[in-house]
Structure 1
Amino acid sequence: MAFLGSIFHQAPEIALFLSLAIGYWIGKFQFGKFQLGGVAGSLLVAVVLSQIGITIDNGIKTVLFALFIYAVGFESGPQFFRSLGRQSIREILMAAVLAISGLLTVIVLSKTFGLDKGLAAGVAAGGLTQSAIIGTASSAIGKLGLAADEAQRLQANVAIGYAVTYIFGSFGAIIVCVNILPWFMGRSIRDDAIKAEAALLAGAKLYGPGEAAALPDLVGRLFQVRQAAGQSIGEVEAGAGGATIAVERVKRAGTIIGVEPNLKLQADDIVLIVGRRAGVVEMAESIGPELQSSEGMDMVVTTQDVVIANKDFAGHTVAEIIEATKDLRHGIFVLQVKRGGNPLNLLADTRIAAGDVVTIHGLREDLQRIAKQVGTVIVASDKTDFVFHGLGIVVGLLVGLLVLRIGSIPLTLGSGGGALLAGLVFGWYRSRNMAIGNMPTGASTLLRDLGLAGFVAVVGLQSGQQAVQTIAQSGISLFLIGVVVTILPLVITMLFGRYVLRYDNTAVFAGALSGSRSANPAFGEILDKAGNSVPTTPFAITYALANVFLTLLGPLVVAFV
């Protein structure tokens, strides 16, 4: 033990990463439907290691939390601002009701049972399973102007309250969303998920990683000219029965020749046709027999994302764009158009907006031609734009320094709340200007996971010794308070959603309810019960809102307890 103490004294960062390694290993074990998770596991391991006696710099904690909360905001930003509209008023109200009822529950219980600001904030963080509250509350406590020892004691109590209440916080959300809600609605999640999916099947099929259609919509095939001899390429393309095809290459007498609309095809020419499957398959009857291969006729096609910026496209309907771009879009096939990350249903009267992202498919030279006319090409990259994101974190930290006083009550976002707000704004701006601010999914995931788990581990290492003492004295009462904080807001929100917001689909309702509590374990169980992705959309909206609303409970609990 003395040997470990000597090592941790010389290099406390070893204790930090050891907490992460062992904590995530423990977090993988499942106990029935419950899984502790890496964050809670890291906290518990850090508390154990802290009994040796470890001193670790406070600045590490601030940096890690700022990285985590900024990444959360950046990922949620586009969805968060899109959700602030009339079409999602139910989800906005649901997330707001849960946050408000959660805040009131914590305040009432804290005053009733005499919890200090730190324990109250910890109970909020654990009972509502919103780990970010630990950071925002700790930051707010640091700005109360208390003596250093008192501030550190309260900040330590935040971690204590979290540690005692977190486990049931996760498990209780599963009980309410997966078990109580279907019983309350009188229908299973699976039955209503199937019903909702049937109504949504009119949309395009979205494939997961590694999945592809066995019969792809876009194909390329070789034909030897027979029936089409004497026709021009333009005539062949125009006669495709309304389906979009393009003659991309012609070989005559063993030589590749230039493709022009007025080029007359001759018997035994070999042509490569690329286009929609229905149109290409029909070409065999009007052109000639299909060939398996021909030297020099293979071509490389690619897919490119382009942000629509040109006023000739933005603000116009799909039908208007198709009519105006007959010559420009030769050989170009639109796979999908996304707005804010969500695919649009492309009908004739669908209006395209600036900032929409169109995915086009075709030969590289054709793509380069049309991309210049449409807008900005999104270049896939594994590099992070540190200029953009460094500025974002700086702005967030500066906002976090601001303090608003209502009478004698100080209200502040703190570094965590400021970084979250900046992440939301910069994430939204990135969604509107895709040429800047790149952050690969892997980089964002690393910031989020390492930032939160590292932050929580530092908290455990700093306050673990005191935590053990306090848990021994008041652990049972804190645990029971946490049970109420977990269950009561969920039940209130469930009743509000059913009788005021009129949710009538159990799968959709369960997704929205779990998202409003940012309850990832519960949502995982809901998806497993549903068997499809129906609960995902309401969950995404309420989850984005909950990440903001619940995180901001930290300074509010500190202010009003």
Structure 2
Amino acid sequence: MNPFTESMFVLFAILTIGAWIGQWSWRGISLGTAGVLFAALVFGHFGLSIPKEVMDFGLILFVYSVGLTAGPSFFRTFRRRGMQFVVLAIVIVGSGALLTALAAYLLKLSPALAAGLYTGAMTCTPALASVLDSLHRIAPDEAALASVGYGVAYPFSMISIVLIIQFLPTLLKRPVKIEEGQWLAEKEVESPGLVAHQFRITNPNCDGRTVAEVNPRRLAHVNLSRVKHGDRVFAATPETVLYLGDIVMAVGSADELDKMTLLLGERTDERMDVNAEVLSVDVEVMDESLTGKTLAHMRVWEQFTVVITRIRRQGLEIVPHGRVTLEMGDGIRVVGEKSAVESFVARAQGSPRRASETSMTAYLFGLLIGVLIGLIPVPVGEGVTVKLGMAGGVFLTSLLIGHFGRIGPFRLYVPPAAKNLTRELGLMLFLAGAGTNAGAHLVDVLQDQGWVLLVAGASITLLSALAGLIVMMKVYKLNLLSAMGSLTAAMTNPPALASANNQTETDLPSIAYASTYPVALIFKILLAQALVELLGRLL
């Protein structure tokens, strides 16, 4: 068996056994994807390994899919609670640095060994890379000690945070379902969904005027979707004339609909069953020719003789108006004559294959940009430069792409199933590589350095996590799922994020992870290098 074939056999053996272990359940708790890590530790202990390129490729795929998923909600969440996530990152990362300095003083550790211990306890490979870069310039003979410290602390940190996240709801007696319900209720208040109400035209100023002339946007952000005149119900178009006694259906948020009594007239519960010739249909926009243009520019009624009454995007409902732009994957509700609606639905759906296809040019271009950004050295003074690393650059790029939905002229659409597959497969590849690397050196390092060094690394990890949890729960009173995501980001621990995501149907852990990760990553890179400099002068 040639080396490449052997590596591939080992890789898929680890993935298969790890996935099987991850399915084991005890009292409803399972390891999920993190089971690959434990399988990889055993394989690594017996001298089997995975190419580093496979591990790096997996990490890049994982953070890219997380960023694309969290991007649409990241900026909205960060604007509302951004400072909280910055403070949490600084508390956890800063606590780790202070504890490392204390351990170095008490145990008489060399600056290189202490800095490596810090990067391992924080599970931050980019920070280790920055430490090695500094050491190669100022003390090349001690660079190996940083790797030793990293190797001692890294396995425990990765495994312990995964287990903490897995058991945190039980330890804090805060069921995940209750936390989900509370967050969904808060989300509903912040971004209320759209509802439909009927109004009877009693305002004489509306009599004989068209919907376009009445223009409800003067007072409220709502859309008129249907009109009942006598016994006939039909779609409300801009040219539809309203008369006293007509019943109209308006769609909007509850607060906005309350304003309609001033414009149209009294609320009514009179039924407005659509007749056989009028359809109201929900459809997903998959035709690229309908995207990237405002509704005003598209002139939907004039071009298609249908009315768009609702738009659903990334879990939010948007009131259609002239400045709104349709995006690939939007869910819209259209109302109109049967033949017109059927024609528009066929146009919007495009080719049946489109719903399952990824925009590969945009997808790969985003990865390319992210990798390049991660390789750019950033000067921070006194001849010191730092890099985000490929994973950090790809993650930041994916947040922006996820938010804007495009890269210049290229629009990006990734089906949910493709995002899930990429995230899970990428994480499993990363865990296979990280686990075999850690398993290969763990026993040897413990024998050489003793258990004291392991205890020091474990203390840095656990006490830093505890400090962060205290601030999250006692000071900011974060939702448990948000706290889990923020903790995994501050510890830059993708397996722990996977553990959090496996416990919930919401994206809240990923959103919190995305909000905390950039700050935590940058501070860890800076503090790891600062430890080398400061401890070198103090010890």
Tell whether the structures are fold-level matches, with TM greater than 0.5. yes
Answer yes or no: is 1:546 the counterpart of 2:530. no
1:84 and 1:139 map into 2 onto residues whose CA distance is 28
Residue of structure 1 in register with 2:334 after alignment: 361
TM-score normalized with structure 1 length: 0.64
Q: CA deviation at 1:176?
A: 5.9
Out of 303, 309, 312, the position equivalent to 2:293 is: 309
Decide whether the 8 Å contact of 1:307 with 1:434 is kept in 2: no
Q: Which residue of 2 aligns with 1:421?
A: 396
Give TM-score scaled by structure 2 length. Answer: 0.66
Gaps of 5+ in 1: 1-5, 126-132, 207-226, 229-233, 245-275, 284-289, 291-296, 315-323, 498-502, 528-532
The equivalent position to 1:162 in structure 2, one of 141, 154, 167, is 154
- Secondary structure in structure 2 of the residue aligned to 1:279: coil
1:465-491 alpha-carbon deviations (Å, 9 max, x no partner): 212222453344433332212211111
State the shift of 1:369 in Å. Answer: 5.9
For 2:12, the aligned partner's letter is: F
Give yes or no for contact 1:515–1:539 (8 Å, CA) kept in 2: yes
Residue equivalent to 2:248: 242
Residue of structure 2 in register with 1:445 after alignment: 420
The letter of the residue matching 2:399 is L
CA deviations over 1:208-256 (Å, ceiling 9, x no partner): xxxxxxxxxxxxxxxxxxx98xxxxx99999973249xxxxxxxxxxxx
8 A Cα contact 2:295 2:326, kept in partner: no
1: CA distance between counterparts of 2:68 and 2:512? Answer: 16
**Alignment partners' CA distance in 2, 1:51 and 1:515:** 30
1:279 equivalent in alignment to 2:272: yes
CA distance in structure 2 between the partners assigned to 1:280 and 1:392 by the alignment:
47
Task: From 26, 37, 51, give the equivalent of 1:43.
Answer: 37
Over the residues paired in the alignment, what is the CA RMSD in angstroms? 5.0
User: Residue type matched to 2:470 in 1?
Assistant: V
2:22 equivalent to 1:27:
yes
Q: Distance in 2 between matches of 1:525 and 1:75?
A: 15
Relative distance call for 1:38 and 1:102 in structure 2 (3 A) is same
Aligned residues: 444
Q: Closer, same or farther in 2 for the Cα pair 1:200/1:545, shift >3 Å?
A: closer
| 1:114-125 correspondence runs (5 A) | 114=109, 115-125=113-123
Q: Does the 8 Å contact 1:307/1:358 carry over to 2?
A: no
1:116 counterpart SS class: helix
Letter of the 1:165 partner, please give it: S
Which residue number in structure 1 is paired with residue 377 of structure 2? 403
- Against the structure 1 CA distance between its residues 334 and 383, is the aligned structure 2 distance closer, same or farther, given a 3 Å change threshold? same
Aligned sequence identity (%): 19
Aligned to 1:63: 57
- Report the alpha carbon displacement of residue 428 of structure 1 after superposing the two structures with TM: 2.4
Give 1:383 deviation, angstroms.
2.1
Deviates more, 1:463-472 or 1:394-403: 463-472
User: Taking structure 1 as reference, are residues 181 and 397 closer, same or farther at Cα in structure 2, changes over 3 Å only?
Assistant: same
Instruction: Provide the rounded CA distance (Å) in 2 between the counterparts of 1:47 and 1:337.
Output: 44
Separation (CA, whole Å) in 2 of partners of 1:368 and 1:393: 37
Contact 2:62 2:426 in 1 (8 A): yes
The alpha carbon displacement at 1:545 in A equals 0.6
1:126-145 matches, cutoff 5 A: 133-134=124-125, 136-140=126-130, 143-144=133-134
Q: CA deviation at 1:104?
A: 0.8
Q: Distance in 2 between matches of 1:540 and 1:351?
A: 32
Give the Cα separation in 2 of the matches to 1:199 and 1:82.
Answer: 12
Which amino acid is the alignment partner of residue 81 of structure 1? F
Match of 1:389 among 357, 363, 374: 363
Given the superposition, is the C-alpha separation of residues 446 and 557 from structure 1 closer, same or farther in structure 2, using an over 3 Å criterion? farther
Deviations 1:310-351 (A, max 9, x none): 37279xxxxxxxxx987767554534343xx2423649xx88
**Pairwise CA distance, 1:101:** 0.9
Relative distance call for 1:327 and 1:242 in structure 2 (3 A) is: farther
Q: Distance in 1 between matches of 2:144 and 2:395?
A: 23
**Higher percent of residues as helix:** 2
Residue deviations 1:277-305, cap 9 Å, x none? 93127x6xxxxxx9xxxxxx999967243
Structure 1 residue 72 displacement after superposition = 2.1
Rounded Cα–Cα distance in structure 2 between residues aligned with 1:367 and 1:298: 10
1:523-534 aligned at under 5 Å gives the runs none
Distance 1:403 1:510 in 2: 36
What corresponds to 2:106 in structure 1? none
- Assess if the C-alpha contact under 8 Å between 1:397 and 1:419 holds in 2: yes
